[in-house]
Amino acid sequence: MGRDTVIGLVGKPSSGKSTTLNSLTDANAKVGAFPFTTIDPNKATGYLEIDCACARFGKQNLCKPNYGYCRDGKRGVPIMLLDVAGLVPNAHLGRGLGNKFLGDLTEADCLIHIVDASGTTDAEGKATRGYDPINDIEWLQEEIFCWILGNLMDKWPLVVKRHIATKSTTLETLRAQLGGYSANKQLIARALDLVPNLPPLNEWDNEWIEKVVRSFMNVKFPTVLSLNKMDHPDADKNVLKIILKHPTLKCVLTSSITEVFLRKLAAQKYIKYDLGTEFVDTIDDLGPESGLKPLDDKLRNRIENIRDLVLYRFGSTGVVQLLQAAADLLELVPVYPVRNINSFAGGSGDEVFRDCMLIKKGTPVISVARKIMGDVTIAHIETVGGIKVAEDDVVDKGKNDILSFKLVPGGR
């Protein structure tokens, strides 16, 4: 059975990893302004916001997810987040918590690189002013590259000897070497395919090995950049530089501290806040019948500032979009297994779309069945309208995404 998707939050100390994690979850990752606050990888559940299938059928009021939530057709699907302990330049040589950090990384299917776009922390996370965050983007990639390359080079002469002696294919040998990074055969095959004119493994010189490692890294760790601390006045010019220099990188502008603050105010009933949007309303906007608490001048000013500096300028705090960007990069499609393909109900009761899982686009429906049902004998698979779907038909956005698995009676 497949494992669930894991998104790793990486970045130098004090870039805002724990704050971002907090802003996306209810977990209390320790937040602090000094390096190595996070000693152990901190796992938490985030919620990917999607348009729920219930809205397609006007069944919003019957939609009751077993996990996560659905509010009027906007569904939060749980997704695993991993806050990876502080990384400093030259971690692959064992600096800081270097190799431990890198080891934790292997679990991730994609990375969100949190960059302190304000330039108020240096390469090691210490307070400063005017640091150029473009350095962080480059050294983090180099760090991962050097780590994987170093691990491979240590053993390379032996690897080649074995490769020849056992008459293995390039894919088989590399799989044995790179499988430890939670990389399956398809992933490694894809990485190899992306290197043009690649000769057989026993002919590789250092340059070929480096090309293969770069390609593997791109496939194994697709990355979204979170340009964080956008509330800071110095952030704008730094972001412009980053986008001009790295136009192909996927970037999201964020202010995770603002998201944490808004969620707290909403929980305390000072504001009404639609997560991920620019809409923040107070009692001044909605009147006393809203049930919101009155604001003092200090709080009123802070909310006004947040509107001016973050919400109206960037459209939101960006953190909800961050998970969506990661899901896009991984081509994840929400898939709804249902018991009854006509009513979309689960077991008993009228409630619909109880389950939702995130599946990579292009996955055959039979693999989805296996992931959910295990090794039972499946008679056939149906989608909306009771239409039969062939086992090797694939999942896509809005297509073959609502599925009912019919078992052979008495079979297993």
Ligand X SMILES: Nc1nc2c(ncn2[C@@H]2O[C@H](COP(=O)(O)OP(=O)(O)O)[C@@H](O)[C@H]2O)c(=O)[nH]1
Note the helical H segments in 55-133. Answer: 98-105
Give the bridge partners for 46, in sequence order.
79
Kindly state whether residue 264 participates in binding ligand X, applying the rule CB under 6 A: no
Residue 134: φ, ψ to 5°: -60, -30
Nearest approach in angstroms of CB 396 to ligand X is 35
Kindly state whether residue 231 participates in binding ligand X, applying the rule CB under 6 A: yes
Question: Residue 257 binds what, of Mg ion, ligand X, none (CB under 5 to 8 Å, by partner type)?
Answer: ligand X
Task: Look at residues 101, 128, 91 and name the one whose alpha carbon lies nearest to residue 14.
Answer: 128
Part of the chain binding ligand X (CB under 6 A), chosen from 17-25, 46-54, 211-219, 399-407: 17-25
Nearest approach in angstroms of CB 392 to Mg ion is 44
Binding site for Mg ion (CB under 5 A): 17-18, 37-38
* SS3 label, residue 379: strand
Nearer to ligand X, 173 or 255 (CB): 255
Nearest approach in angstroms of CB 228 to ligand X is 5
33, 267, 390, 408: residue in contact with ligand X (rule CB under 6 A): 33
Kindly state whether residue 13 participates in binding ligand X, applying the rule CB under 6 A: yes
CA distance 157 to 146: 18
Number of H helices, E strands in the chain: 13, 14
Kindly state whether residue 163 participates in binding ligand X, applying the rule CB under 6 A: no
Nearest approach in angstroms of CB 234 to ligand X is 10
Residue whose pair of structure tokens reads 């690897």 in the numeric block: 159
Nearest approach in angstroms of CB 285 to ligand X is 24
CA distance 255 to 20: 8
Residue 242-261 contact track with ligand X, rule CB under 6 A, x = bound: -------------xxx----
Write the burial class of residue 135 (CB in 10 Å: 0-12 exposed, 13-18 middle, 19+ buried): middle
Nearer to ligand X, 15 or 223 (CB): 15
Question: Residue 255 binds what, of ligand X, Mg ion, none (CB under 5 to 8 Å, by partner type)?
Answer: ligand X
Residue 341-370 contact track with ligand X, rule CB under 6 A, x = bound: ------------------------------
CA distance 242 to 76: 31
Nearer to ligand X, 231 or 382 (CB): 231
Residue 137: φ, ψ to 5°: -60, -45
Residue 406: φ, ψ to 5°: -100, 125
5, 7, 10, 19: residue in contact with ligand X (rule CB under 6 A): 19
Note the helical H segments in 363-404. Answer: 365-373
Nearest approach in angstroms of CB 260 to Mg ion is 13
7, 17, 77, 252: residue in contact with ligand X (rule CB under 6 A): 17
Kindly state whether residue 133 participates in binding ligand X, applying the rule CB under 6 A: no
Sign of the four-CA dihedral 395, 396, 400, 403:
positive
Contact indicator for 365, 391 with CB cutoff of 8 Å: yes
- Token pair in block for residue 323: 């998970």
How many CB atoms lie under 10 A from the CB of residue 172?
15
Nearest approach in angstroms of CB 120 to Mg ion is 16
Question: Residue 282 binds what, of Mg ion, ligand X, none (CB under 5 to 8 Å, by partner type)?
Answer: none
Report the interface residues with ligand X, using CB under 6 A.
11, 13-19, 31-33, 37-38, 228-229, 231-232, 255-257
